[in-house]
Copies of this chain bind each other. A is one copy, B any other.
């Protein structure tokens, strides 16, 4: 009676997914218990669990103890976004990478920055403005704030030669990260640095990183016209 058994969790994931796709299980429906599915499919419960966890991570089903497994209604589009290190991104495209520090000073960080970092009070941080170049042309302009509380060693680094992000990434790994994406017209200073007409539409990527609730850095990256972020899955 039971069709021939598929014992691998990815096969089982596909099987269950296909039942969702062909509406055997509809959005909002409750799926059989892991144990029953294991019995039906002729595999261990652990294997069904592995498949289910994968479906849950993809946002296709929702699982609750005692509540069972439910097919998600109102599915979101869930993708993975990888933001590469700029130098590598440029070099991978076959272009020559260069880094140019525009400005570097101690400043009282604006409230917008300290708020995002989760700090109650404003404090003096290291502010770095720098340009990443691809074949000599402006590629990304970054405005970065580094917490001197969390990363005092940064003052010993020669940031005119050493890209701040790469130093941080190698010496100050982070725990938690928040990213925001938006479009904004190029303002005076940015338009100047990026060599674009004022008002040009540019994609901005803001990132904040922490190590166990201690903020490390906040950076606003302004990308060149036409820049695209792609995700897969």
Contact = CB atoms under 8 A, between A and B. Distances in A.
| Integer count of this chain's copies in the complex | 2
Contacts of A182: 203, 226-229
Contact of A201 (B85, B173, B183, B233): B183
Q: How large is the interface on A (under 10, 10 to 19, 20 to 34, 35 or more residues)?
A: 35 or more
Interface in A174-204: 175-185, 199-204
A39 interface: no
A77 B82 contact: yes
A81 interface: yes
B81 A80 contact: yes
Interface string A57-91: 00100000000000000111111111111001000
A175 B21 CA distance: 9
A20 interface: yes
Given A80-B81, A81-B231, 12 more contacts: A74-B84, A74-B88, A76-B85, A78-B83, A79-B179, A178-B230, A180-B229, A180-B231, A181-B203, A182-B227, A183-B201, A200-B201
